[in-house]
Amino acid sequence: MSDASNELIKMSATEAVARLRSNEVSPLELVEASIQRIEAVDTKVNALPIHCFEQARDQAKSLDVEAHSVNPKSLCGLPIAVKDYNDLCGAVTTFGSPIFADNVAQQSDATVRQLESNGAIAVAKSNVPEWAGGHTFNPVNGLTRNPWDMRKSAGGSSGGSGAALASGSVWLATGNDLGGSLRTPAAFNGVVGLRPGPGRVPRGTRLPSMDTLWVEGPMARNVDDLALMLDAGVGQQIDDPLSFDHAGPSFVEALEGTGMPKRVAFSPDLSIVSMEKEIAKVCCSAATVFADIGADVTDDIPDFTGVLEAFQTLRAVLFATMMEPILALHRDRIAPEIIGNIERGLNITPSQIFAAERVRIELYKKVIAFFETHDFLICPAASIAPFPVDQRYVTEIDGKPCETYIDWFSITFALTMTACPTISVPCGFTSEGLPIGVQIMGKPRGEAALLRAAKRFEQAVGISTQLPITPREGR
């Protein structure tokens, strides 16, 4: 790719949008730079298999930058990646399934529509697992590799978004998160990802409208860029009855606030999950960063007893609600793990649902009590390092067998059950040079304070300055 395009790719999203606002660069120039980078690196990574190049060029040429420049929330023509679980008008939404390989969206969903209204231009769609999962591969678009070591998984289900950011193909990308689908790939790829509280970012109609487990959220190379994308992505859309308009200062402005955490809690395993020793050690060391910036660090965390089983129950019910009609028509074209998820949901008893909801209700009470004395809860963003790409899913952690194919990311779905905003931020590397991330969980509706603390943490750790990277073959 040209030297000029290469320099544009190296800029942060914040820098790129500032240059768009000042007319130092045009949307078309950034679209072309993104396309050149995709063509240069993504044949190996396969993070962005669905290209929207001509559509993006047309939008870049027609965008009224002057009008967008007076909108403080606008991205002013910045190219982004849209996850292949989201509808983008004129592009296929495959969900990684051969059933929907030719499914062209007739309109953008609420998540994408909100971003488009604020000046985002989708240049490509990011790869996903078939329907759901923690490892990004599917029979339609193949396998996504981790740019830090292409022998390793990029995580999932937002693995394509995470890998595209790390490799510099785009500046921002959409993600979504049920059990960790945004936070795990952020950790695996050395980028940042925010699981906001329910309703903060509007969702499309494919999801049950009153569900609060599955949320949409931004992914970026650093916290400043994440705040920029969150500002562009929040707001009420009529499709989503839980969505609401943001009141108060922008999230970018909130980063400049002076309030810092006074007391935080750290746990390597929430006392309920298995954890690789190296991951626990690196994350424990990273937690001391909060002590360095003046916070008291304790191990006084809420009690998560029963939360994992409760999540498994509620997740199964969600899958059955969404996918029972598809299973009835296309069983032979659905991955066995997903069939198992749906069938588990169909066999859940009312008493199991009642018990799971009671656990969730009690957990929220415990979390509220926790936040009376603490500002944040910190724990690893994954129990393991990125694993080999030819491994379908993780079967054991630190020598302990996993009972289900999603057990290995239970450290993230435990926090899903709190409904609190949670960010995944890089905190270090394994002995093999693979990224490790921590989760920082904030108070309900506390995204602004959470982002501010995450930025201070990110500055102290210093990993974001290493991005974007040229994809590596591995050692």
Sign of CA dihedral 105, 218, 269, 303: negative
Catalytic entry in 5, 167, 181, 424: 181
Instruction: Answer yes or no: are the C-beta atoms of 109 and 86 closer than 8 Å.
Output: yes
- Give residue 39's identity as a one-letter amino acid code: E
For this structure, is 281 an active site residue? no
Closest of 392, 203, 378 to residue 293, by C-alpha: 378
Catalytic entry in 108, 157, 243, 410: 157
Strands 263-266 and 376-380, sheet pairing: parallel
For this structure, is 157 an active site residue? yes
Whether residue 157 is preceded by a cis peptide bond, meaning omega within 30 degrees of 0, is yes
Secondary structure (DSSP) of 265-326: EE-SSTTTS---HHHHHHHHHHHHHHHHTT-EEE--PPP-TTHHHHHHHHHHHHHHHHHHHH
Coil, helix or strand at residue 217:
strand
Catalytic entry in 83, 125, 443, 455: 83
- Give residue 408's identity as a one-letter amino acid code: W
Burial 436-456 (b: 16+ CB within 10 A, else e): bbbbbbbbebbbbbbbbbbbb
Instruction: Answer yes or no: are the C-beta atoms of 261 and 290 closer than 8 Å.
Output: yes
Helix pair 447-461, 277-292: axis angle to 10 deg: 100
For this structure, is 83 an active site residue? yes
Structure tokens at 148: 């830090």
Catalytic sites, residue numbers:
83, 157, 181
